[in-house]
Structure 1
Amino acid sequence: MSTLPAVAELAVEGATVGGGGAPSAVPSLLRPETYECANCGGRFEARNRPTPYCTKQCGAEAKTVRYARKARAEHGTDLPETVRTALHRQFVHALTECAWDKWSGEPEPGPVVPPEVEPLAEHLDAQIPDSDVFARRANGMKVRVLADSELRPCDVQEWDSVWRDWVNAHAR
């Protein structure tokens, strides 16, 4: 299958490679200027590789939400003690900006430009002040876990097999 139409379309749109100035014949998906975070919706520049998350914290939050949604699907609200303990540990680590499961050694992507509109704005508790970032993040994770359907792209259980396609579709 030829990729020439896609390359031509990217060149016509003025897509750049590596953040340079002139359009290039190489698809911008190899080195787009920015990516959208699948967790928080912010935009960021990935320095070394395509990634769905702006920070390790967003990755930990997304992984925790998927784990919790899967546990609820399997066990309902009566979670076994081992699952409840693991889930509690994951939530704490995600909220304290700690990559709870591993350290990749990769540097963090560049600064994050927050989305114009909070992706979960209609679901969040309006009583929590904007300045209480910890409580807002905890509430956002809770809302995502308890929702009937996925509220963020990275909440789907198949995320590990589809994230690269999502990253490519949301790169600029």
Structure 2
Amino acid sequence: MLLYHGTTLTNSISIHHDKTLRCKIERYYNNEEFPTTDGYVYLSNRINHAIYYGNKNSVYSDEEYFAVYEIDICYDNLKIDIDELKYVAKLNDEEIKTFSVDSCLELVSSCRIDRDLTFGVDVKRYAVLPTTMNYKHELCDIAYEIISDRENRDVDYLSEIRLKLPWVDI
């Protein structure tokens, strides 16, 4: 299954050094209203959703660039994203228990996996984009358009986004 992960450029440099997206890392929102649970790599079935989070985390970290990764992994390894269901969809624990990975992806466009993801095995390619703060960059308009339309779930639209990005194969 093709999924996406967005992160800061600083994290991307570490990811490239290790050739691995690690599930145990320093988290962005530990002391915030929307914490993320350590021990997982968070993924989206929608590239625009991953780009939104990559941009958001980079702006939060005062960085001018972010990276988005394309990942191909077995569906059976995926878990529901309890954090998104709880903090974004505002569901309680009883409601969350009724969710499958499919229903989680349908509602919040997010899931997670409890293992590291390896370059060349799980991680297939990546693209580096300017954040919306980096308005002078030639690709900023594309990044801004994608982020502004982050709720779009149209399959053709999502395919178009994939074609617009400056992908680098791993």
What TM-score range do you get, normalising by the shorter chain? under 0.3
More helix by share: 1
TM-score, with normalisation over the residues of structure 1?
A: 0.26
TM-score, with normalisation over the residues of structure 2?
A: 0.26
More strand by share: 2
